[in-house]
Each structure stands twice: as C-alpha cells, then as structure tokens.
Amino acid sequence: METPSARWEGLPSWLLTQTAGHAQRLVSDGFASVGARGYHYRLLATLAEHGPASQATLGRRSGIHVSDMVATINELADEGLVERAPDPSDRRRNVISMTAEGKRQLRRLEKQLAETQERLLEPLSLEDRARLTDLLSTLLAHHNSRGTPEEPWR
Amino acid sequence: METPSARWEGLPSWLLTQTAGHAQRLVSDGFASVGARGYHYRLLATLAEHGPASQATLGRRSGIHVSDMVATINELADEGLVERAPDPSDRRRNVISMTAEGKRQLRRLEKQLAETQERLLEPLSLEDRARLTDLLSTLLAHHNSRGTPEEPWR
DNA sequence: TCCGATCGTTGGTCGCACCAACGATCGTGC
DNA sequence: GCACGATCGTTGGTGCGACCAACGATCGGA
C-alpha cells in the first residue's frame, strides 16, 4: 500500500485480520515446504490424537467440513499418508487410519508449526506473548460460545 | 467441533486466525446488512480520504489488487455509488469519484464498522483492548516491514 | 417393514488475495 | 520523430478456507 495511514488501519478488526493473514501465510508456507496444507495437518493431528475413525467423525473432531474431508483424504491417501478401508460393521462408513509415513509427515508438520510460532511472535517478549495468548483466548472463547447457538430461538 | 481440545488449539497462530475469522464474519455481516462487502468499504473510504483517482492509484492506496479493483468499481458503479470517467489528460486512465449516494453509503458502513468493533471486543476491559491493539500493532508492523522486502537480495 | 437419520460423494458458492497476459496508450532516450 | 519500455484497465484464471444442497446407499428404531 502506498499510504501508511488509511482510515481503517487502527481498527482492532483490521489489526486482527491482517496479523492473522501474516500468521496464515507463515503457517501455510511452512506446511507447503513439506508438501502439505492446513487441512492435511489438521486431519493427521486428529488421527494421531483419537485414532482411526469414520470420515464424518473426523470431520466433527477436526472442524473440517465433510465435503472437504473427502478431498483431504483423497490427497493424503494418494501420498500414502492415510488409508481408507470399508467399515465391516457399517457399510456406509470408511475407517480412516494413519500410515507410518503419515506419522512421519505429522512430525515434520509439527516441527514446521513450532518454528512458525517462533517467527510469528518474534518481536514480542515472553510476557507479551502470554498476554496476547490470553487476550485472544478470551476473545475466541467468547465468540465461540455465541458461535452456533444451537437454535436458541426454538 | 466435537472435541474441545485439539492439539493445535492453544497455538498463537490458531488463536489469531480463528479470532480473526470471527472478526471477519462480524465485519462482513455488518457490511452485508447494508448490501456491501469489504472491498466496497475500502474503496469508498480511500476515495473519501484522498479524493478521485485512477484505478491503479486507488489500488495502491487501498491495497486492493488492480484486477479486483475492476470488479469492485463495476459493482459500486452499478449501484451509483461511484463514477467512472475517462481522464482527459491520459487516455489510459479512468478517474473514479464518489457520488453523493456513495458518501451516504460510506457513512452507513462506518457506523456498522464501529458497532462491529464494539461487539468484537465486548468481553475485554478498556485496558485489555488497548493492550491487545498494541500487541497486534507491534506484530503487524514487524511482519509488514519484512513484508515485500523490495528485492532485498539484489 | 417403513421412515427418518446418517454416511460418503459430487459439484457447486463466496470472499479475499494474487498472477499472467493482452491491447491501448504514454513518455523518455536516442 | 520514433522506437521501446513502462503504465493502465481488463479478462480470465489460481489458491485456500469455509460452507451448502442434493443424491444414493445404508442403518436402526417404531
């Protein structure tokens, strides 16, 4: 941008979305350097945390929409990081599980992610980092709770 | 999400992008309630601040990519909020200016935006709001300066 | 057995950001 | 005076994240 002072540049919502844009860029560049993107990490991490599950369950656990889950699993399965097997006890379902290579990839992604946090917070002191995390957690909890208010009007 | 504690949920980059997601949603809902979106506000605000200009100049001032500028101006021109006139002194250029209705719309958008900031920061005290703004400004300035490093390696 | 719920899948939409290429026009150096 | 590089507007893409509607197949409870 040519002008360092536009009307909106001091607004909290602007500061937030712009800073988040930088964060997003750092994170996805980090993931891209290992040939992955955000959804890949989230799916692998979810599998590592709760073990194999159906696509619908993985969607609920990871916050990835079921329809995006299909593509994500396709991509990871093509790379041999994840396996899709029919669930014998319910023919509607697939059971998704991580391969050994998938676990290695997850370790790489987590390493990238840790380095990214460092780069992101670089100019802040430890105290400031804690303060920022606190403030953002407060904000996020607040808006998440008001999030999908479970049809509150019915 | 089903699980309240995924691996990544404490990461600063996650807190940042998620909170920013809420902010974005609040802002665009506010704009949408007046029939606009983010680019419309940014363009109108830029026009109000610096006056009429060519599309390329507006792009540099607002941070909106030239190619997106075309569509944005088309939309605003269709609504009669903005006018596109050939620049007599340079036949490559169009001069874009705001109409009276455009100014009214900008006032509506700014009102929406102010209300949105309030909703966004609702759970924070005034001190916390200032702290958050400071921390985000520091982070943003840091990453912006390292932003497009002006071919630093040449 | 029937009916509503769930599962996976396809093929869209939207917003923001960015890129390549093109013809038209401009302006500077020669 | 003219040729060439830069600039301008425009078109038609890309990517990512998030979400939606609809469909056939399957399941399970009444």
Distance CA A129, CA B17 (A): 16
Only one residue has tokens 């093509």, namely A78
Distance CA A77, CA A82 (A): 5
Nearest to B139 among A11, A123, A143 (CB): A123
DSSP H or E segment with residue B39: helix B38-50
Distance CA B37, CA B71 (A): 12
pLDDT (0 to 100) of residue A7? 84
In the CATH scheme, what is the code of domain A28-141?
1.10.10.10
Report whether A123 contacts B138 (CB < 8 A): yes
β-pairing, B94-98 vs B82-86, is antiparallel
* Helix runs in B51-145, H state only: 55-62, 66-78, 100-121, 126-145
Distance of A89 CA from C15 C1′ (whole Å): 41
Distance of A92 CA from D28 C1′ (whole Å): 13
Q: Is the CB of B64 under 7 A from strand C?
A: yes
Q: Which residues of B touch A129 (CB under 8 A)?
A: 12
Q: Is the CB of B97 under 7 A from strand D?
A: no
Q: Where are the domains of chain B?
A: 26-143
- What crossing angle do the helices spanning A12-32 and A100-121 adopt, rounded to 10°? 140
Pick from A136, A124, A122: which is nearest to B15 by CA? Answer: A136
User: How do residues B22-70 score in pLDDT, each as one tens digit?
Assistant: 999 999 999 999 999 999 999 999 999 999 999 999 999 999 999 999 9
Q: Is the CB of A77 under 7 A from strand C?
A: no
Assign B76 a pLDDT band (cuts: 50, 70, 90): very high
Asked if the Cβ–Cβ distance from A137 to B27 is below 8 Å, we say no
Mutation target among A121, A126, A128, A140 for the B interface, most CBs of B within 10 A: A140
What average pLDDT score do residues A92-100 get?
Answer: 96
- What crossing angle do the helices spanning B126-145 and A126-145 adopt, rounded to 10°? 110
Closest chain A residue to the Cα of B41, Cα to Cα: A8
HEC-encoded secondary structure of chain A: CCCCCCCCCCCHHHHHHHHHHHHHHHHHHHHHCCCCCHHHHHHHHHHHHHCCECHHHHHHHHCCCHHHHHHHHHHHHHCCCEEEEECCCCCCCEEEEECHHHHHHHHHHHHHHHHHHHHHHCCCCHHHHHHHHHHHHHHHHHHHHCCCCCCCCC
CB atoms within 10 A of CB B42: 21
**What is the architecture, at CATH level 2, of domain B26-143?**
Orthogonal Bundle (1.10)
User: How do residues B100-142 score in pLDDT, each as one tens digit?
Assistant: 999 999 999 999 999 999 999 999 999 999 999 999 999 999 9
Closest C1' nucleotide to B27's CA: C15
Distance CA A9, CA B125 (A): 21
User: How do residues A26-68 score in pLDDT, each as one tens digit?
Assistant: 999 999 999 999 999 999 999 999 999 999 999 999 999 999 9
Asked if the Cβ–Cβ distance from A117 to B143 is below 8 Å, we say no
Q: Is the CB of A91 under 7 A from strand D?
A: yes
Q: Is the CB of B29 under 7 A from strand C?
A: no
What average pLDDT score do residues A79-87 get?
Answer: 96
Report whether A61 contacts A53 (CB < 8 A): yes
HEC-encoded secondary structure of B20-35: HHHHHHHHHHHHHCCC
